[in-house]
Structure 1
Amino acid sequence: MFNLLFLALFTLTATGAPAADKTYEYIVVGSGPGGGPLAANLAKAGHSVLLLEAGDDQTQNVNVSIAANFLLAGNDPATRWDFFVKHSDNATRESNYRRTTWRKTDGSFYVGTDPPAGAKRLGIYYPRAGTLGGCAMHNGCLTMNPNDADWDAIANITGDSSWSAKNMRKYLIQLEHVNYLLNSTIHGHNGWLEMTMLDPGYQSSSDAKTIMQLAAEGSGFSAEDTATLATRDMNGEQPNRDQLTGVFGGVSHMDPQGHRSSPGYYVRNTVRESKYPLTLQLNTLATKIIFDNGTTNPRAVGVEYLQGQSLYSADPRYNASDKGIPGRAFASKEVIVSGGSFNTPQLLKLSGIGPADELKKFNISVVVDLPGVGQQVADNYETSLLSLGARDVNSGNGVIYPVFLKTSAAKIRNIYMWCGSFSFEGFWPGFPEDYGPSQYECAIVHINPHSQAGSVMLRSADPRDVPDINLRFYQTGESEDLGALLEAVKWVRSVFSKVPSSLGPFKEKHPCPYPRSNCTDDEQKTYIKEQAYSHHVTSSCAIGADGDNLAVLDSKFRVRGVRGLRVVDASAFPKVPGAFPVLPTMMLSEKATEDILAEAGTL
Structure 2
Amino acid sequence: MRYHLLSALAATAVAAAPAAPSESYDYIVVGSGPGGGPLAADLARAGYSTLLIEAGGDEGDNPTYADIANFNEAANDEMTRWDFWVKHSDDPEQDLKFEHTTWDTGDGTFYVGLDPPEGAKLLGIQYPRASVLGGCAMHNAGVCSMPADDDWNIIVEKTGDTSWSAENMRKYFKKIERNEYLAPGDDAHGYDGWLATSVADNSWAKDDSLPGTKILRKLAELTGQDPDQAADLVNRDILEVGDKVDETTSFYNMVTHADSKGKRSSPNNYVRATLADPAEYPLTVKLHTLVTRVLFDEASLANGSTPRAVGVEIMEGASLYKADPKHADGATGPVSQIRATREVIVSGGAFNSPQILKLSGIGPADELAKFNISVVKDLPGVGENLGDNYEGGVLALGAAPIDTGLITLLFRTPSAPTAKRNIYTWCGAFSFEGFWPGFPTYHGPTQYECAMVHLAPKSQAGSVRLVSADPQDRPEINFRFFEHGGDEDLAELVEAANLLRKAFQAAGDPVLPFDELHPCPGSAANRTCDDAAQAEYLKLQAYSHHATSTCSIGGDDEPLAVLDSKFRVRGVEGLRVVDASAFPVVPGAFPSCPTMMLSAKAAEDILAAAEETDKKRRRLFA
What is the TM-score normalised by the length of structure 2?
0.94
- Matched residue SS, 2:274: helix
Q: Which amino acid aligns with 1:195?
A: T
Distance in 2, matches of 1:537 and 1:167, equals 24
- Matched residue SS, 2:8: helix
Conservation of the 8 A alpha-carbon contact between 1:451 and 1:476: yes
Aligned twin of 1:223: 227
Distance in 1, matches of 2:12 and 2:343, equals 26
Distance apart, 1:10 and its partner CA: 6.8
- Matched residue SS, 1:11: coil
Which moved further from structure 2: 170-179 or 509-518? 509-518
Conservation of the 8 A alpha-carbon contact between 1:149 and 1:242: no
Alignment of 1:449-528 (within 5 A): 449-515=457-523, 516-528=526-538
Alignment of 1:230-269 (within 5 A): 230-269=234-273
Distance apart, 1:8 and its partner CA: 6.5
Alignment of 1:94-243 (within 5 A): 94-183=95-184, 184-200=186-202, 201-203=204-206, 206-243=210-247
Aligned twin of 1:400: 406
Q: Which amino acid aligns with 1:406?
A: R
How big is each residue's C-alpha offset from its partner over 1:198-234, in whole Å with a ceiling of 9 and x where there is no partner?
2234258933322222222221112221122111111
Distance in 2, matches of 1:307 and 1:29, equals 14
Distance in 1, matches of 2:487 and 2:272, equals 46
How big is each residue's C-alpha offset from its partner over 1:166-209, in whole Å with a ceiling of 9 and x where there is no partner?
00000010010001112223210000000001223425893332
Distance apart, 1:504 and its partner CA: 1.9
Conservation of the 8 A alpha-carbon contact between 2:427 and 2:449: yes
Matched, 1:273 2:277: yes
How big is each residue's C-alpha offset from its partner over 1:226-275, in whole Å with a ceiling of 9 and x where there is no partner?
12211111111122101111211110000000000001111122112251
Distance in 1, matches of 2:413 and 2:155, equals 24
Matched, 1:73 2:74: yes
Tell me how many residue pairs correspond in the alignment: 596
Distance apart, 1:6 and its partner CA: 3.2
Aligned twin of 2:617: none
Q: Which amino acid aligns with 1:316?
A: P
Match of 1:291 among 287, 292, 296: 296
Match of 1:348 among 357, 364, 369: 357
Distance in 2, matches of 1:261 and 1:226, equals 29
Q: Which amino acid aligns with 1:536?
A: H
Consecutive unaligned residues of structure 2, counting only runs of 5 or more, are: 1-5, 615-622
Q: Which amino acid aligns with 1:385?
A: V
How big is each residue's C-alpha offset from its partner over 1:144-170, in whole Å with a ceiling of 9 and x where there is no partner?
011111111121111111111000000
Alignment of 1:428-443 (within 5 A): 428-443=436-451
Distance in 1, matches of 2:362 and 2:412, equals 40
Distance in 1, matches of 2:502 and 2:533, equals 18
Distance apart, 1:498 and its partner CA: 2.1
Distance apart, 1:9 and its partner CA: 6.9
- Matched residue SS, 2:585: coil
Which moved further from structure 2: 125-134 or 208-217? 208-217
Match of 2:330 among 315, 321, 335: 321
Aligned twin of 1:561: 571
- Matched residue SS, 1:211: helix
- Matched residue SS, 1:125: strand
Distance in 2, matches of 1:185 and 1:227, equals 25
- Matched residue SS, 2:439: coil
Aligned twin of 1:416: 424
Conservation of the 8 A alpha-carbon contact between 1:212 and 1:247: no
Identity %: 54
Q: Which amino acid aligns with 1:309?
A: A
Which moved further from structure 2: 218-227 or 375-384? 218-227
Which moved further from structure 2: 248-257 or 508-517? 508-517
- Matched residue SS, 2:75: helix
Distance in 2, matches of 1:284 and 1:447, equals 36
Matched, 1:535 2:545: yes
Matched, 1:587 2:597: yes
Q: Which amino acid aligns with 2:544?
A: S
- Matched residue SS, 1:286: strand
Distance in 2, matches of 1:59 and 1:456, equals 30
Aligned twin of 2:59: 58
Distance in 2, matches of 1:273 and 1:203, equals 45
Conservation of the 8 A alpha-carbon contact between 2:7 and 2:13: no
Q: Over aligned residue pairs, what C-alpha RMSD do you find?
A: 1.5
Distance in 1, matches of 2:410 and 2:338, equals 47
Matched, 1:386 2:390: no
